[in-house]
Structure 1
Amino acid sequence: MGQGAGEPLVVGDEVLVRLVKQGREKISYPARVLADDGVHLVVRAPFAGDGPRDFGFVSFDPGDVFTEHYWRDRWYSVKEVGGPTGRKGWYCDVTRPAEWDAAGLVVEDLDLDLWVSADRALVLRLDEDEFVASGIEQRDPTAAARARQALEELVALAGDGFAALG
């Protein structure tokens, strides 16, 4: 983890992924770097929960593996969720562009989320009420507009199963 800001991370290294929301850390977990070209970072991490997390439309369970795509220039992240029987789908967070600090990767969650099932039959926009309640539209209208645009970009990417991610 000796890389400076803007330098690609080393494939195979372990990094700490930190998801923050309104200045507070929401969750952190270790992940292994799969690829990094200086803009697009891909890591893999096991499910970070203590037990199953059932959302109604999908359950994240111990043993699930997340292949996570972050960008230093895009306002979202995409997490491909795999379970013991194959791909469950993709959980996407609308975020500010990913940043790197001395402790690891920092991603600021902007509340809007998208779930896409593995067969792409289910595409759910999530937490729009939290986004509105956060006050970001009044506090930072430019970021709010970027967030809404990012959600639309994610919906478009979902159409072909995120094939453009590579």
Structure 2
Amino acid sequence: MSANSADGTAPVDVVLVKAGRTKIRYPAELLADDGTRIVVRAPWAGDTVRDFGFVRFEAGDVFTEYYWRDRWYSVKEVRDASGAVKGWYCDITRPATLTGTELVVEDLDLDLWRSADGRDVRRLDEDEFAASGLTEADPEAAAAAVAALDTLEALALGDRFTDLLT
């Protein structure tokens, strides 16, 4: 890994892969890596505002992203430009790999949103997952993905969700 910056972070590239192709690559700062959980921080990497109807991701937003080498999901805490938490966007993924300065995560189409106040918990993109063909191509991975979504939803509906991030 390259030298740390003055604030103790190190640069990494987050590479989100979907269906065997790179969906997005963006620079981030590596904040922590304990051998199991990897934490990075990055500004919103989109070119434009992404309005989901229940939350908007836009310029100035900062994502603190939590990845695990042994879990089938990632959790992204989203803060606006003033530092206020908007909520947590969770991706169902294969376990993450960090090689050198490249953090690679394979997106499995299922997502979950939890608002900052915890009152809005939504399962997302189940139609995309069904259409992806993963259930037929890799039934074990599909089962792990659904189990991960169920686990995250149960955590998100409870009062200990943010314990994942400490």
Name 2:165's counterpart in structure 1. 165
Secondary structure of 2:45's aligned partner = coil
Q: Letter of the aligned partner of 1:38 in structure 2?
A: G
Q: Letter of the aligned partner of 2:103 in structure 1?
A: L
TM-score norm. by structure 2 comes to: 0.91
4+ long deviations beyond 6 Å = none
Q: Letter of the aligned partner of 1:33 in structure 2?
A: L
| Corresponding residue to 2:148 among 147, 150, 159 | 150
Identical residues among aligned pairs (%): 64
Q: CA deviation at 1:138?
A: 0.7
Name 1:45's counterpart in structure 2. 42
Name 2:131's counterpart in structure 1. 133
Q: Letter of the aligned partner of 1:123 in structure 2?
A: V
Q: Letter of the aligned partner of 2:95 in structure 1?
A: P
Distance 1:68 1:140 in 2: 27
| Corresponding residue to 2:14 among 12, 17, 20 | 17
Q: CA deviation at 1:102?
A: 5.1
- Superposition RMSD on alpha carbons, in Å? 1.3
Stretches of structure 2 that go unaligned for 5 or more consecutive residues are: 3-7
**Aligned counterparts, 1:13-162, within 5 A:** 13-85=10-82, 86-101=84-99, 104-158=102-156, 159-160=158-159, 161-162=161-162
Distance 2:136 2:120 in 1: 31
CA displacement 1:46-77 (0-9 Å, x = unmatched): 00012211111100010000000000010000
Q: Letter of the aligned partner of 1:111 in structure 2?
A: D
Q: CA deviation at 1:103?
A: 5.8
Q: CA deviation at 1:40?
A: 0.2
CA displacement 1:120-160 (0-9 Å, x = unmatched): 11111000011010011111110000000000111122122
CA contact (8 A) 2:11 2:101 kept: no
Distance 2:164 2:112 in 1: 17
Distance 1:84 1:21 in 2: 29
Q: Letter of the aligned partner of 1:49 in structure 2?
A: G
Distance 1:37 1:102 in 2: 15
TM-score norm. by structure 1 comes to: 0.91
Secondary structure of 2:88's aligned partner = strand
Q: CA deviation at 1:164?
A: 3.1
